[in-house]
Chain A
């Protein structure tokens, strides 16, 4: 029992150490910033543009749900002017960044790990090295940048869509006027509420990018290994998102 716990702790420490080392290699590869533009654009499109529909859907219903949950209480206490604030505060600071990051991890992070790990087991990374091309600089750096940038962009889009979802539910199901909702957002939400979510999305983006790339480039064992790597990357990203969210909220909330 104790042996198993110890072995698990060592394994986690090794993985965390590996992710930290890879992060260091990515930072070193950014100086000077020689990034393959074609790879960067391809990843920005693939990771960002194609994620918009799923993020819009998730964010719309996240905002709608917040309003649906808060609505009956604000109506009961006659505090409809605070309905938008309640939903907006929760969405911008917590629900939006977390839900979008988890969706992004499941869609983009998992896909990235599968791609990189397949490339690793089919010796494509060795093929790059044999041609004097650093796989970190050529493959990992553009993906990390694309994931961080696109998660921030998607979070901003998601925030706006979530507020729209909250407004529509407020109007159609709870009969709260559009203007009441608007002023509830405008008067009560502060720019920092929005920025707080953006800061978090940057941290979440880094966590998803680094864990998905790390498990992709360190995979062993063919197709079975690819499956294990994807699983490990998604779990690591989800745990990192929760831990980062707690500490970022505690330190900067």
Chain B
């Protein structure tokens, strides 16, 4: 079966700074992969590469059976309509209300009446606990509420591939669990493939099938989410357990022998 996402030998630089190097990764259809790693390890960049928002300097990326490297913006349009994405910093449109933000993907995609869109948006806002906030502008919302609007917008169109960049950042533990339960139920209902980035490893592990660890632009580990706290790699183990002693120092920079600080 063709993977929903197939990344092979991908590298990305910004000027002289190497962000990702030789990343190879597959996600099978209907599977949920979690991506973890220290800050600035390239997780968000990898998410943007998968949607074609960034272009790799090396390697190939296939998403939903289509190669996206080297394609122009206009050629990526049809593919992007099949992908939902939650941005780390929400990326909500501040010129639209909460309701309009969530309705936006459906309106742009077309094929639904205004009533159908309104019904679907209302249901989605209820699901993320934002009923009653429909007419607020996004500038009036707290960080957690913005995150939930972003989740509603990413999931409202039942995309085939959904990318969540920090879905639980800024949320309290109870809301976090509710959101992950919602994402899980959505994924079961739609059968979508999921790529999720999160710093909340425990919550992420309860949601995804597998976890991959990005470190200094390299993918150094991939394994089942269930046993992640006992992962064989000491870097991953220390990161997941949040231990101060180990090959990672407090800033998440490795001090493993032979590595540059």
Contacts and interface: CB of A to CB of B under 8 A. Distances in A.
Given A126-B48, A126-B87, A127-B87, A132 B93 contact: no
Given A124-B92, A134-B74, A129 B87 contact: no
B243 interface: no
**Which 7 interchain pairs have the tightest Cβ spacing?**
A127-B91, A123-B91, A132-B77, A132-B80, A130-B85, A132-B81, A126-B53
A2 interface: no
A131 interface: yes
A130 B53 contact: yes
A127 B149 CA distance: 13
Contacts of A127: 87, 91-93
A119 interface: yes
User: How extensive is the interface on chain A, given as a class?
Assistant: 10 to 19
A131 B76 CA distance: 10
B53 A131 contact: no
Interface in A107-130: 118-119, 122-124, 126-130
A133 interface: yes
A130 B89 contact: no
Nearest to A135: B73
The size bracket of the interface on B is 20 to 34
Interface of A: 118-119, 122-124, 126-134
Contacts of B48: 126
22 contacts: A122-B91, A123-B91, A124-B94, A126-B48, A126-B53, A126-B91, A127-B91, A127-B92, A128-B93, A129-B53, A129-B73, A130-B51, A130-B83, A130-B85, A131-B80, A131-B81, A131-B104, A132-B77, A132-B78, A132-B80, A132-B81, A132-B108
Interface in B55-111: 73-74, 76-78, 80-81, 83, 85, 87, 89-94, 104-105, 108
A116 B233 CA distance: 45
Given A130-B51, A130-B83, A131-B104, A122 B94 contact: yes
